[in-house]
A and B are shown apart, each in its own frame.
Chain A
Amino acid sequence: QKEVEQDPGPLSVPEGAIVSLNCTYSNSAFQYFMWYRQYSRKGPELLMYTYSSGNKEDGRFTAQVDKSSKYISLFIRDSQPSDSATYLCAMSPLNNNDMRFGAGTRLTVKP
């Protein structure tokens, strides 16, 4: 079993839709949870960063962490074609820099 599970998709939605991306994990030591966006031929770009459980909102993006279920989510409201990219979840234990990544979900937002 992988430490971090993420459905690779692909996921295709119409412009304006609400997108829900998810990851599950097995290591209860994970405390830091991150979402990265990666465009083709580019490196991952940090989108959201959350410590422990709870919600965090930044513009059209909302990250949720449910440590009891070992489940994290990223919601994108009013999705735009420019949101088309691969979204990677990542997580690490407290004070540990060995981030574990999900496989990434490829998202396409169609105009």
Chain B
Amino acid sequence: EAGVTQFPSHSVIEKGQTVTLRCDPISGHDNLYWYRRVMGKEIKFLLHFVKESKQDESGMPNNRFLAERTGGTYSTLKVQPAELEDSGVYFCASSQSRGAGYTFGSGTRLTVV
């Protein structure tokens, strides 16, 4: 079974630019989550999709972040415009059922300079 795939694995962009991160969950997993870890902090929840619907986006830091999951398959997380404090590792995870442990991807390391 293929795991959760994220790309790019690493992205370096300038402040003010736009970046789009992609996540392909495990096939058949309706639940898809985005988390991020900024330098020196804990991994924190961003949002949760059930199929194509946003179930909970309470962790999204501000309106510069836009997540989509068209068709309920892969998801994208766009940051526009990127700021220095957006640097960190963005993880995607998926699961079949709620409340269960997730399968995480390897993350996208975003550096905003």
Residues of chain A touching chain B, judged by Cβ–Cβ distance below 8 Å, are 2, 4, 31-32, 34, 36, 41-46, 49, 88, 90, 92, 94-104
Contact = CB atoms under 8 A, between A and B. Distances in A.
Given A97-B33, A97-B55, A98-B56, A49 B42 contact: no
B33 to A, nearest CB: 7
Given A41-B106, A46-B103, A97 B56 contact: yes
Contacts of B42: 2, 4, 100-104
B99 A97 contact: yes
Contacts of A42: 106-107
Given A88-B43, A96-B99, A97-B48, 16 more contacts: A31-B99, A36-B101, A43-B93, A43-B107, A44-B104, A45-B104, A46-B102, A49-B100, A94-B99, A95-B98, A97-B31, A97-B33, A97-B45, A97-B56, A97-B98, A100-B42
Question: By CB atoms of chain B within 10 A, which of A42, A46, A49 has the most?
Answer: A46
Interface residues of B, number: 26
B27 to A, nearest CB: 18
Given A97-B48, A101-B44, A43 B4 contact: yes
Contacts of B100: 32, 49
Contacts of B48: 97-98
B91 interface: yes
Nearest to A48: B101
Contacts of A95: 98-99
Q: 5 shortest A-B CB distances, which residue pairs?
A: A43-B104, A46-B101, A101-B43, A49-B101, A98-B45
Contact of B43 (A2, A32, A44, A45): A44
Interface string B39-83: 001111100100000011011000000000000000000000000
Nearest to A31: B99
Contacts of B33: 97
Nearest to B92: A43
A41 B107 CA distance: 8
